[in-house]
Amino acid sequence: MSDDTLKDINQFLTFTLGKEIFALDISTVREVLELTSITKIPRTPNFMLGVINLRGHAVPVVNMRLKLGMSQGKDTVDTCIMVVEIEFNGELTVMGALVDSVREVFEMMPDTIEPAPKMGAAINAEYIKGMGRQNDQFIVIIDINKIFSAEELSMAKDITGLGDGADQPSVEEAVAPA
């Protein structure tokens, strides 16, 4: 492969929600964690589960099923948290995304990615970057930067003070009563 061809390959981390397969650009994923204790934060939307302690720092966690308008699922041995970086207005916010399972890193050439369907998608088409295929299965490629509104990202920062990670509060500071 030439250097130009290598630049055109996109790598995605595939994950499942129910029977659906989704993918995120691998560059937005910091790490994948086993399911851990989540501290609930009062007066937050139902999809905002709370915060986890990630090496002494509070990271907000969102239930991706609920955020995408799907039904609540049961946690299993495969349930995990993807720690992702979301860029909005030039700022990075670190969040955890609870998913049913993480599958694999999958490479796709840009010309094999189809545009998002105009209707019939289980989730808001604004969140969809495109549709890929792996064997006989469709993969919904999600744009993590479009899933959360400015208000939701602001709420996540208010909960934890998270920004680019430089001045993250401890878990104790994040969940202390106001």
Work out whether the CA dihedral 37, 42, 47, 51 comes out positive or negative. negative
Domains in the chain (CATH in brackets) are 3-164 (2.40.50.180)
111 conformational bin, left if phi > 0, alpha if psi -120 to 50, beta if neither: alpha
Do the beta carbons of residue 16 and residue 101 sit within 8 Å?
Answer: yes
Amino acid identity of 174?
Answer: A
Per-residue pLDDT tens listing for the chain (178 residues): 444 444 566 899 999 999 999 999 999 999 999 999 999 988 888 999 999 999 988 999 999 999 988 999 999 999 999 999 998 888 888 999 999 999 999 898 888 888 877 665 555 667 888 898 888 888 999 999 888 877 888 877 777 654 444 344 443 444 443 3
Bridge-based pairing of strands 137-142 and 128-134 is: antiparallel
> Measured at the alpha carbon of residue 176, what is the angle toward residues 160 and 166, in degrees to the nearest 5?
30
Residues 42, 60: Cα–Cα separation, whole Å: 13
Q: What is the pTM of this model?
A: 0.80
